[in-house]
Structure 1
């Protein structure tokens, strides 16, 4: 083999080497940028409470995506790998691993319902496997949706998390005639009174700046749809129920009971207004978010988590009430025929990934908090 041939054969190796060197340089720069972040956490006379008990060790995480059941997590696992699976004691036996990639983006799945969500988040945040002090947490799950605020497939960023389960309830067949439903706040006399919030988990306000930034990054993305969803929404004679899905901003209601109906739906709107002093607008109904946030709040009280770094995204998989002429029972029992499940799962990724990638790829702007833009 002559020298010219040898030189030509060496070129691919040299190119490959240059690519590897460039990639390594990028990785090193990202690591240095991550380590250089100067966020100050809760201090006391003994130093950071987190550092005293945790040692400040564990894998750094830029974004932790919180899903509730398999398909919600899988839409991320299919797109952002390769992944490293990290077992965390105390997570759901159905989802015992947290998956993390080279961008320091991780995905966890809690299990459905408020009990699973709280237990899994407590296990995660008090584990020594991760350093979560600078981590952005993004709840990303599907939900029922109010047809006056969105439609099947719409993706909604929330500023308020409201618990629908912490109420008194009288069977609607036995309620006073003047009451619009059988619900009222605990330790109130009438349904129009705001309760004293003795549980301290009834309502949480998220970082509005983060919610606005997430919305701004994703508001123009094209969302997924399906023929079945188009047929379902066409049965409504008003917007936005009968329009194409888009990214929106409105608030989310948690409660383990799946419900359907005009009157319960009206209560959901009123309850959200009551608990947020008129600032919140109900649009999605799910099971877990208040429990998830409370677990993060407990971790934040020890310096392990920054509550200003929590975002909540919910996509509409089905309507929370029937169209005119449909029964509430049919809307609930046959919710799957609305065709919203697949678009809602896909749209968690489409609406959520702009925020995830902005944080991961511009960490220098995000590491000390939500950037001013």
Structure 2
């Protein structure tokens, strides 16, 4: 706030009408002190950032149509200052009053890694005290929760770095043809996972627990549509519950996998990489990329790795209900996730509780991480 009070007398407040992704909306002009700074070059007056909202994709326009992960944050958080970000997938949006910055990385680990590193190295922003909130939709394991539920990750596990043999050629005693590097097969769980290899990231335990405890009692809305979908999972008690907030690990992989056998693999994979401490709950694509970049940025003081939170909301189940084959269910879900609307709404509801707490008590959280 002090930065903008100092510069307000010089640059004033300017609101312009602009077009973004084909939609007309009010957009706040970038202050001249920032617009004079070129992406990738030194900037004498970087924008202070308290919270970075990390969305992974948007469906169509940034506002005014079916909401993806970014739209509700942009509309409801007043992210009206558009900042060009040519070195990445999507322009950035900022609220100068709250100092919240919103980014869209693009789908997949490659884009999320590049986008996070590009932002972290962009000298137009002061991110040294920023909290990072990764908020995205996901597949969710019906053993653990229902669609619409929101899971805070304690660990994020990579599902791409691996050995693989076609399942039609695996030994008869192997459950999967996909197994961790450094092991002798999927049955070899005796090795000690190496956290330095990029396959597993542990989130700051105290920060994650703080966020979970702050939000665990939020009552999330239910709907007839998601109730009808979860009712099909007759053998899965947690899948039949209305949406709720829980803790559970996120598995990031570039392949959109699906099915009962793949869900069994995901549970085994997460157990191995977390040494039995983690529980697979959500599947997505980007989070290990975000954490890889933030880990490196922390090394040069451009970001604080201990100020990262990851939450994922179930937009679809990771496997079909009893009596439906995996291929049929996957292809049907690709036409529209049953829990998409609930997932993006609940992401905002739960995530906003954390953002509001940080902003309302910044005097407490600026210097000391919960």
Q: Shorter-normalised TM-score: what interval? A: 0.7 to 0.9
Which whole-Å deviations, capped at 9, do the CAs of 1:17-57 have from their partners, x for residues lacking one? xxxxxxxxxx559989xxxxxxxxxxxxxxxxxxxx96885
Correspondences of 1:207-286 after superposition (within 5 Å): 207-237=204-234, 238-286=236-284
User: What is the aligned counterpart of 1:107 among 95, 102, 121?
Assistant: 102
User: What is the aligned counterpart of 1:179 among 174, 183, 190?
Assistant: 174
Aligned CA distance change for structure 1 residues 31 and 208 (closer, same or farther; 3 Å): farther
- Which of the two has greater helix per residue? 1
SS of residue in 2 equivalent to 1:72? coil
Which whole-Å deviations, capped at 9, do the CAs of 1:338-370 have from their partners, x for residues lacking one? 521111111110110000111111101101122
Correspondences of 1:18-33 after superposition (within 5 Å): none
Q: Which runs of 5+ in 1 are unaligned?
A: 1-26, 33-52
Contact 2:77 2:95 in 1 (8 A): no
Aligned twin of 1:360: 359
User: What is the aligned counterpart of 1:69 among 57, 61, 67?
Assistant: 57
Higher RCO, 1 or 2 (CA under 8 Å, sep at least 6)?
1
Structure 1 runs, 4 residues or longer, greater than 3 Å off: 27-32, 53-57, 194-199
User: What is the aligned counterpart of 1:292 among 290, 293, 304?
Assistant: 290
Q: CA deviation at 1:195?
A: 6.9
* Larger deviation, residues 56-65 vs 142-151: 56-65
Contact 1:226 1:339 in 2 (8 A): no
Matches of 2:5 and 2:298 in 1, distance apart? 24
Contact 1:144 1:284 in 2 (8 A): yes
Matches of 2:226 and 2:238 in 1, distance apart? 13
1:145 matched to 2:153? The reply is no
SS of residue in 1 equivalent to 2:132? strand
Aligned CA distance change for structure 1 residues 229 and 243 (closer, same or farther; 3 Å): same
* Larger deviation, residues 176-185 vs 127-136: 176-185
Matches of 2:336 and 2:310 in 1, distance apart? 26
Q: Please give the TM-score of this superposition, normalised by the length of structure 2.
A: 0.83
Aligned CA distance change for structure 1 residues 60 and 29 (closer, same or farther; 3 Å): closer
Matches of 2:125 and 2:2 in 1, distance apart? 20
User: What is the aligned counterpart of 1:310 among 284, 308, 315?
Assistant: 308
SS of residue in 1 equivalent to 2:69? helix
Which whole-Å deviations, capped at 9, do the CAs of 1:99-136 have from their partners, x for residues lacking one? 33411111110111011101111110000110101000
Contact 1:65 1:138 in 2 (8 A): yes
CA RMSD of aligned residues (A): 2.1
Q: CA deviation at 1:174?
A: 1.9
Contact 1:186 1:195 in 2 (8 A): no
Q: Please give the TM-score of this superposition, normalised by the length of structure 1.
A: 0.82
Correspondences of 1:41-190 after superposition (within 5 Å): 57-70=45-58, 71-81=68-78, 83-92=80-89, 95-190=90-185
Contact 1:80 1:101 in 2 (8 A): no
